[in-house]
């Protein structure tokens, strides 16, 4: 591998994927078979400034350069060569948010990220106007809220984009983005693969009423599907990535994508009736739909795959934070007895212990709400543990309850898709920290959704790898070859995956727990009012 990878890099045939995550920027270099051959990263954090969650522009620029420098170091140490040419590049980032520029390319206000919940009025009004769920974090909600707030900068907007769209523009000079990323800016018409024309027309009327002279088309990027030409790396773009000036221009650049899209690619879940669940600090499920939903649900976001198929998305802010806090308490208890604790072993032991518990957790209920939850209509959260007087209090039930809680809100949202709407799913793939302990997270998720759950050996590669795969698809696709076909036949063919199906008793137990959980949400609501 090392000699062939070395030659590939020297020949300029390696492909690069970069993803801007919320706490880390990661770069993955792959070969022609999509095998990772080098990587780099840069840790960073968002800032809360003047009531807005943001990443300053200088940190965005510096973070990209630092990540790429780390990648070059890895290449040098592994292969003894310099990284000077690439066959293709792809950029991904956390979706949504608001980056607005004037005609001279000047940023008009600090970057407003997906994490902000400052667009409630705009989101509600647009949802009613479009008869289509517009979440607060979507780019169009940010724009309309700025207009409703009478912010002076809105009259000067010449270009509005996302973080991925901005980086793509800096690399290529083209104001374009992939359809999956675009679906987090504004609703997509899956028949055309573009922003929904009737909704665009309705929004343009709002702009006119506010006395603004531009249309949405004037300021929004052009939408592309996976595999379409999204430009080439310019000299300025190469220098923007590589401050040493060693990287040459000319690489093909794939349509930029959001982290949801790259997650779908990384788990081979872009085909109709497939889905994936990403479970870590937050948790979200994505299911590729056969047809539109029968009505609007505030709990369900509608986005698309990188190739433009409609996706129902259930997004929950809270997943493993409370669970991790309890595991930390057990660590502290053991250390108080002078026991040296291996955290991987502790997590594995406690997670496996959960499988010994009662299927309904024996009357124990945990709420993992560090923050609010849109699915259950909470603006704030309070981590909370409650139990019945005659509950069976033991370690297995306690851990099982906390694992159930990490997915209980997701189940509430997914039940809308799977039970109320009757959406059919042939396969669900899990990825993220919840699935690190073999078999446990899989079993719990399978019980929650009453469907088989698979975990792939590549799931840990993440979105940067998924973006590199999309870049390879751009330069490798054959005439008429769809993205699902490419993934099935050339990326995941022969890939090892472990599939588990929860027992009927496990499914019944989670259903019983979820019923009590929903009824006890009143306790969580009372805690928010009482615990300040």
Same fold for the domain at 1-95+162-185+224-255 and the one at 267-318+413-499? yes
State whether residue 38 is helix, strand or coil. Answer: strand
Please provide the average confidence, as pLDDT, over all residues in the chain.
Answer: 94
Task: Please tell me the predicted confidence (pLDDT) of residue 462.
Answer: 79
Rg (alpha carbons) of the chain, rounded to whole number: 23
pTM value? 0.89
Name the β-bridge partners of 38. 29
CA distance 238 to 429: 36
Q: Return all residues near 416 (Cβ < 8 A) that are at least 6 apart.
A: 297, 299, 300, 314
Task: Give the pLDDT band (50/70/90) at residue 461.
Answer: low
Fold of the 1-95+162-185+224-255 domain: Nucleotidyltransferase; domain 5 (3.30.420)
Of 468, 431, 463, 472, which Cα lies nearest the Cα of 19?
Answer: 463
Please report, for the chain, the start and end positions of each structural domain, with discontinuous segments joined by +: 1-95+162-185+224-255, 97-159+186-219, 267-318+413-499, 321-412+504-530
- The whole-number average pLDDT for the span 385-405 is 96
| CB-based contact 486:50 (threshold 8 Å) | no
Task: Please tell me the predicted confidence (pLDDT) of residue 279.
Answer: 86
Per-residue pLDDT tens digits for 479-508: 999 999 999 999 998 888 899 999 999 999
Per-residue pLDDT tens digits for 248-279: 999 999 999 999 999 899 999 999 999 999 88
Percentage of residues of the chain with pLDDT beyond 90: 86
- The whole-number average pLDDT for the span 158-186 is 98
Task: Give the pLDDT band (50/70/90) at residue 431.
Answer: confident
Per-residue pLDDT tens digits for 87-109: 999 999 999 999 999 999 999 99
232 pLDDT higher than 60: yes
**DSSP 8-state class, residue 195:** E
* Alpha carbon 401 to its chain's center: 26
CA distance 475 to 214: 36
Query: Please, where are the H alpha helices in 114-231?
Result: 120-130, 139-148, 163-172, 179-182, 197-209, 216-219
144 pLDDT higher than 70: yes
Task: Give the pLDDT band (50/70/90) at residue 427.
Answer: confident
Burial class (CB in 10 A: 0-12, 13-18, 19+), 532: exposed
328 pLDDT higher than 90: yes
Task: Give the pLDDT band (50/70/90) at residue 300.
Answer: very high
Of 45, 5, 43, 9, which Cα lies nearest the Cα of 26?
Answer: 43
Task: Please tell me the predicted confidence (pLDDT) of residue 1.
Answer: 56
To the question of domain 267-318+413-499 being in CATH 2.160.10.10, the answer is: no
331 pLDDT higher than 90: yes
Q: How many residues does the chain have?
A: 532
- The residue behind tokens 């607005």 is 100
CA distance 81 to 83: 7
Q: How many CB atoms lie under 10 A from the CB of residue 329? A: 10
């Amino acid at each position: 591998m090392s000699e062939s990878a070395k030659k590939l890099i020297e020949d300029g045939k390696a492909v690069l994927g970069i993803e801007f995550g919320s706490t880390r920027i990661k770069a993955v270099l792959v070969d022609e078979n999509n095998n990772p051959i080098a990587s780099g990263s840069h840790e960073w954090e968002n800032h809360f400034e003047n009531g807005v969650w943001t990443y300053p522009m200088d940190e965005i620029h510096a973070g990209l350069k630092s990540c790429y420098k780390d990648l070059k170091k890895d290449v040098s140490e592994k292969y003894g060569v310099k990284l000077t040419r690439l066959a293709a590049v792809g950029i991904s980032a956390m979706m949504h948010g608001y980056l607005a520029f004037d005609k001279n390319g000047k940023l008009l206000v600090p970057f407003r990220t997906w994490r902000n919940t400052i667009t409630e009025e705009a989101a509600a009004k647009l949802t009613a106007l479009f008869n289509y769920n517009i979440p607060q974090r979507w780019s169009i909600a940010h724009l309309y809220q700025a207009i409703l707030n009478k912010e002076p900068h809105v009259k000067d907007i010449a270009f509005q984009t996302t973080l991925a769209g901005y980086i793509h523009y800096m690399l290529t000079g083209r104001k374009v983005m992939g359809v999956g990323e675009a679906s987090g800016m504004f609703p997509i018409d899956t028949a055309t693969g573009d922003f929904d024309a009737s909704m665009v027309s309705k929004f343009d009327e709002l702009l006119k009423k506010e006395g603004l002279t531009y249309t949405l088309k004037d300021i929004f990027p052009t939408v592309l599907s996976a595999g379409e030409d999204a430009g080439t790396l310019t000299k300025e773009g190469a220098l923007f990535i590589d401050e040493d000036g060693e990287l040459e221009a000319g690489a093909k650049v794939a349509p930029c994508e959001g982290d949801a899209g790259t997650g779908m690619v990384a788990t081979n879940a872009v085909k109709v009736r497939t889905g994936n669940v990403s479970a870590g600090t937050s948790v979200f499920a994505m299911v590729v739909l056969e047809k539109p939903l029968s009505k609007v649900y505030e709990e369900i976001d509608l986005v698309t795959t990188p190739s433009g198929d409609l996706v129902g998305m259930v997004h929950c802010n809270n997943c493993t934070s409370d669970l991790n806090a309890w595991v930390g308490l057990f660590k502290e208890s053991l250390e108080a007895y002078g026991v040296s604790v291996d955290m991987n072993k502790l997590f594995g032991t406690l997670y496996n212990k959960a499988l010994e518990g009662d299927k309904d957790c024996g009357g124990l209920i945990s709420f993992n709400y560090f923050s609010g939850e849109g699915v259950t209509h909470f603006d704030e959260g309070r981590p909370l543990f409650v139990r019945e007087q005659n509950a069976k209090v033991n370690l297995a039930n306690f851990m099982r309850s906390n694992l159930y809680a990490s997915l209980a809100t997701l189940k509430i949202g997914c039940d809308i898709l799977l039970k109320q709407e009757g959406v059919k799913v042939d396969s669900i793939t899990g990825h993220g920290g919840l699935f690190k302990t073999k078999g446990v997270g899989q079993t719990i998720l399978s019980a929650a959704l009453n469907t088989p759950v698979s975990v792939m050996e590549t799931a840990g590669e993440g979105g940067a790898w998924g973006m590199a795969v999309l870049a390879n698809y751009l330069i490798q696709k054959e005439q008429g070859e769809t993205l699902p076909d490419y993934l099935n036949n050339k990326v995941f063919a022969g890939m090892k995956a472990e599939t588990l199906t929860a027992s009927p008793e496990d499914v019944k137990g989670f259903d019983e727990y979820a019923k009590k959980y929903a009824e006890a949400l009143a306790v969580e609501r009372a805690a928010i009012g009482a615990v300040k």
